[in-house]
Structure 1
Amino acid sequence: MNLRFLETFVWVARLKSFRLTAEKLFSTQASISSRIAALEDELGTRLFLRDSKGVSLTPEGQKVLEYAERMIDTMQALKQSISDTGNIQGRIRVGAMDTVIHTWLSPFVTRVMERYPAVEIELTADTARNLNEQLLKGYLDIVFQTDMVNGDSVRNLELAAFPVRWIVPTGSLYHRSYASMEELARERIITFSKNSRPHQDILNLLHAGSVSAPRINCVNSIAAMTRLVRDGFGIGALPPALVHDELKQGLLTILDEVPEPPPLPVVATWRTGVGLELSEDIIALACEALDVYAEEMGEACMARVAPAPEQQSA
């Protein structure tokens, strides 16, 4: 039995789409359909139902899927047992929110490149919501964002949390004492994109402080948000890690008199299953990079949450 056809079958079952499977396997829809047809002929049964809603497994297809995953897992284990990480090839598609990109993404990618020099890393930057949608659709293998994601063959691990503080330009009109959240909210507040996790947390904090109509400016770019804060456009609600140098130089100041916003979590979410065994090792490398980053930056900038998962043998 052709293992490539079995792998194709598993991916169609997982993604519920011939088109997405073709993109994942660098093939064409016609080729994917041909492989499935050949597999159905060999097994003497229909594996998928196709209708206007998409693709779904037949009862026979569900039985075949269980065996197919075991066979491919066995083959992957065999390949890993006789190879080293330097010879592993393929592509890993990683998505990250802006905060990760501006902090610890580079040392993480460096570790991956050193461990797996023959693996291509494809990076995508976007909001947490968009990253999660792309993961569930099969366009990404791993995402680093703020929320737990529910889905078939999806795992989550909360890695760390960025403290979020009220930050202002030193010596500016915003650099003063505030008696309450209501007084602070009379000023313009600059934070993350609308309906993001930190934006919702800020709204909840202000609501708890009896603030009904805050002046919140949502910005979907870390670079733009930090620049606006530095230029005195308003009070920033953002992680100190993003402006670490400016705080160290005394250009920006953290306001300590008012309640702190909730921390911004960093969650790793990845797809599991046949053909995705590398993801577990990549997550472990992310944990290693975070450990080093957290130690260098200190608890004021980063708090680690989870230990690294056990790495698979390679």
Structure 2
Amino acid sequence: MTLKQLEALYWSSVLGSFALAADRLFMTQSALSKRIQELEAEVGVQLFDRSGSRARITEVGQEVFAKAEHILRLRDELLVSARGPRRVKGTCRFGISELMAMQWLPQLVSEVRTDYPEVIVEPHVALTQELLDDVERGESDFAICPGSSQDPEIVSEPISHVELYWVGSPSLFRKKDIVTLESIQSHPIVSMSSQAGSTMLLQSFAQEHGLKFRRILASNSPDAVAAVTIAGLGIALLAGPYVERFIREGKLCRLQVEERLRVPKLPYYVHWRADNSRILARAVRDIALRLCKGEGGSISH
């Protein structure tokens, strides 16, 4: 029995896929399957049920998995004890929203390289729901994004709140105009897809307050949403730190809205699976938490 065989079992169980586990371990699927078959031959029982379209871990496999996880954690602790934290090796995959990437990614990567020079970081920039799905499936070690997971096994640590601005083209609104619900409904709402954190918040807010908006979907890119809004095709609800540059340039104006249109700040979190006890994942996650909380709970412009 080898540690490599236990790693193959661990990631195949966590990710629920031999193909994803092989990708995580930088090997071919056939090589990973061979390691698991060798482990099964040694323990004398089948660890995965391969009768369906996807291999599923068996009841005995779950017991072996728990012990394999413990052994791998002890391996990591031993290496840290012997080499020191700066000699930790491995790959940490994490998800991050576009706004957080603009704000924190360069500094996060820089600090990881300083503290753990032999660690490889693989950030994935995407929309909120995709990032949460990746964490739930175990494909990402953590994610920095807004939103909340319905999975009770996901831990979400709050890090900041971002103010959302109603914005429109100066050709449609004057700076001092108070925009009412009636006037805002005469223009379509330009929004990102339903997977974006700001869109999720708007939908929830509208449902809670009985508001109805005529939405047009521009793109998964905030730049595209901004461009459509600048063109005067509608109004948008976007993160303040993102649209400040367009406001300064006179391309957009921040709308002064009546009380019932004031949307709460968008909360951001670091999300991770409670059962992810990997030392490397925790180390990089702790750096992310420290950086993102360093602004006193708000995102700078």
Q: Per the shorter chain, which TM-score range?
A: 0.7 to 0.9
Deviation at 1:221, TM superposition (A): 0.7
Q: Which residues in structure 2 correspond to 1:18-97 (within 5 Å)?
A: 18-97=18-97
State the SS of the aligned residue for 1:268: strand
Matched pairs, number: 298
Q: Which runs of 5+ in 2 are unaligned?
A: none
Deviation at 1:109, TM superposition (A): 2.4
2: CA distance, partners of 1:71 / 1:132:
28
The aligned residue for residue 237 of structure 1 is 237
| Structure 1 residues 177 and 208: alpha-carbon distance in aligned structure 2, compared to 1, 3 A threshold | farther
| Structure 1 residues 291 and 151: alpha-carbon distance in aligned structure 2, compared to 1, 3 A threshold | closer
Farther-moved stretch of structure 1 (194-203 vs 1-10)? 194-203
The 8 Å contact of residues 165 and 260 in structure 1, kept in 2 or not, is answered as no
The aligned residue for residue 261 of structure 1 is 263
| Structure 1 residues 291 and 64: alpha-carbon distance in aligned structure 2, compared to 1, 3 A threshold | closer
2: CA distance, partners of 1:34 / 1:227:
52
Farther-moved stretch of structure 1 (110-119 vs 70-79)? 110-119
Cα deviation, 1:13-61, whole Å, max 9, x if unaligned, reads 2222222221111122222222222222222222222112422233322
1: CA distance, partners of 2:132 / 2:224:
23
Cα deviation, 1:131-166, whole Å, max 9, x if unaligned, reads 233334443322222233355964332322211121
The aligned residue for residue 287 of structure 1 is 289
The aligned residue for residue 310 of structure 1 is none
Q: Does 1:118 align with 2:112?
A: no
Farther-moved stretch of structure 1 (59-68 vs 134-143)? 134-143
The 8 Å contact of residues 72 and 274 in structure 1, kept in 2 or not, is answered as no
Deviation at 1:203, TM superposition (A): 3.7
1: CA distance, partners of 2:282 / 2:99:
22
Deviation at 1:267, TM superposition (A): 2.5
Cα deviation, 1:187-208, whole Å, max 9, x if unaligned, reads 2333322353422432454456
The aligned residue for residue 309 of structure 1 is none
Superposition TM-score, scaled by structure 1 size: 0.81
Q: Which residues in structure 2 correspond to 1:180-191 (within 5 Å)?
A: 180-191=180-191
Q: Which residues in structure 2 correspond to 1:63-212 (within 5 Å)?
A: 63-151=63-151, 154-169=154-169, 171-175=170-174, 176-178=176-178, 180-194=180-194, 196-206=196-206, 211-212=211-212
1: CA distance, partners of 2:274 / 2:204:
34
Counterpart amino acid of 2:173?
A: Y
State the SS of the aligned residue for 2:70: helix
The 8 Å contact of residues 92 and 119 in structure 1, kept in 2 or not, is answered as yes
1: CA distance, partners of 2:70 / 2:207:
52
Counterpart amino acid of 1:262?
A: P
The 8 Å contact of residues 14 and 137 in structure 2, kept in 1 or not, is answered as no
2: CA distance, partners of 1:210 / 1:150:
24
The 8 Å contact of residues 143 and 270 in structure 2, kept in 1 or not, is answered as yes
Q: Which runs of 5+ in 1 are unaligned?
A: 304-314
Deviation at 1:70, TM superposition (A): 1.8
The aligned residue for residue 308 of structure 1 is none
Deviation at 1:231, TM superposition (A): 4.8
Deviation at 1:273, TM superposition (A): 5.0
Counterpart amino acid of 2:27?
A: S
| Structure 1 residues 31 and 181: alpha-carbon distance in aligned structure 2, compared to 1, 3 A threshold | same
| Structure 1 residues 272 and 19: alpha-carbon distance in aligned structure 2, compared to 1, 3 A threshold | farther
The 8 Å contact of residues 111 and 289 in structure 1, kept in 2 or not, is answered as no
Find the partner of 1:276 among 275, 278, 287.
Answer: 278
Work out the percentage of aligned pairs sharing the same amino acid: 24
Counterpart amino acid of 2:284?
A: I
Superposition TM-score, scaled by structure 2 size: 0.84
Cα deviation, 1:50-86, whole Å, max 9, x if unaligned, reads 1124222333222222222222221211111122333
The 8 Å contact of residues 7 and 274 in structure 1, kept in 2 or not, is answered as no
Farther-moved stretch of structure 1 (28-37 vs 249-258)? 249-258
2: CA distance, partners of 1:198 / 1:270:
21
